[in-house]
Amino acid sequence: MDKTRVRPLLNEITQQIQASPSASATSAGPKISEAQKTSLAASFELLRINYGNQFNAAYPDVESSTAAMRLWLKNLADFPAELIVKATEQAIQHERYLPNLATLRGYCENAYQLYGLPEAHTAYVEACRAPQPKSEFNWSHPAVYFAGKATDWFFLGSESEKMVFPIFKRNYELLCERVIKGEALEVPVLQALPEEVSIPLTKKENLKHLSDMKKALDL
């Protein structure tokens, strides 16, 4: 297949995927975001550029490319969009041959580890089990704390996983993308209470205190 035809074909594939209901959600999987579709299209373009003939041999026409991208979308839906591209870049640096889905998923999992981020469900379990006060817990990564806070601690601890996890996962993915882009997250530190807590005097008490001082000084 002529390489000059690949980019238009990828654009066409992306449009078909975006228009397909099966690409937005599956009966067994989470909703796939527009950002994830865009990232996977960008990843396929990176693979095309770097593996040339191997890519064209694996995906010789629109039908095979569309089928592959739908499969990859479904199986990479638990990773943030930014991480999918990062993982593809890492695969290109280390793989001599065109990586398959299992290989790229392995790089996605490793990319989480490179940033110190647990995968989404592990993060969810950690957030559910963390004791109060939350800010004093030894979090595996601050992103887990902030995802729990954004989801709402009471909601996280009182509702079923089926209801809560998709919301937590979305919040966590957004935070993961911020971390991958270079943002530093820090869990707020509780300030210790002073040993003595002073209470401001009322106006009446201040006037009496002033009067007592005058008497003491014989003014």
Phi-psi region of 164 (alpha: psi -120 to 50; beta: other; left: phi over 0): alpha
Q: Give the whole-angstrom CA distance, residue 205 versus residue 82.
A: 61
Q: How many CA atoms lie within 13 A of 16 on its CB side?
A: 15
Task: Kindly tell me the sign of the dihedral angle through the C-alpha atoms of 166, 142, 134, 139.
Answer: positive
**Residue 129 CB: number of other CB atoms within 10 A?**
9
CB 139 within 8 A of CB 186: no
Residue 66: pLDDT band by 50, 70, 90 thresholds?
Answer: confident
pLDDT for 2 equals 41
| Amino acid at site 155 | F
- pLDDT higher for 199 or 26? 199
Q: Is the pLDDT of residue 91 over 60?
A: yes
pLDDT band, residue 5 (cuts 50/70/90): very low
- Amino acid of residue 36: Q
| DSSP secondary structure, 128-145, as one string | HHPPSSGGGS--S-HHHH
CA 152 → CA 134, 146, 148, 189, distances in Å? Answer: 12, 10, 6, 19
State how far the alpha carbon of 124 is from the alpha carbons of 112, 139, 144, 209, 212, in Å: 15, 12, 8, 56, 61
DSSP class of 4: G
Both structure tokens of 151: 């989801």
- The secondary structure of residue 116, as a DSSP letter, is T
pLDDT digits (tens, 9 = 90+) for 144-199: 999 999 999 999 999 999 999 999 999 998 898 888 877 889 998 765 545 555 56
Classify 36 as helix, strand or coil: helix
Task: Say which DSSP state 78 is in.
Answer: T
* Predicted model pTM: 0.56
- Write down how long the chain is: 219
Q: Under a CB-based contact definition with an 8 Å cutoff, are residues 81 and 29 in contact?
A: no
Q: Using one digit for the tens of pLDDT, what is the confidence trace for 100-130?
A: 999 999 998 888 888 899 989 999 999 999 9
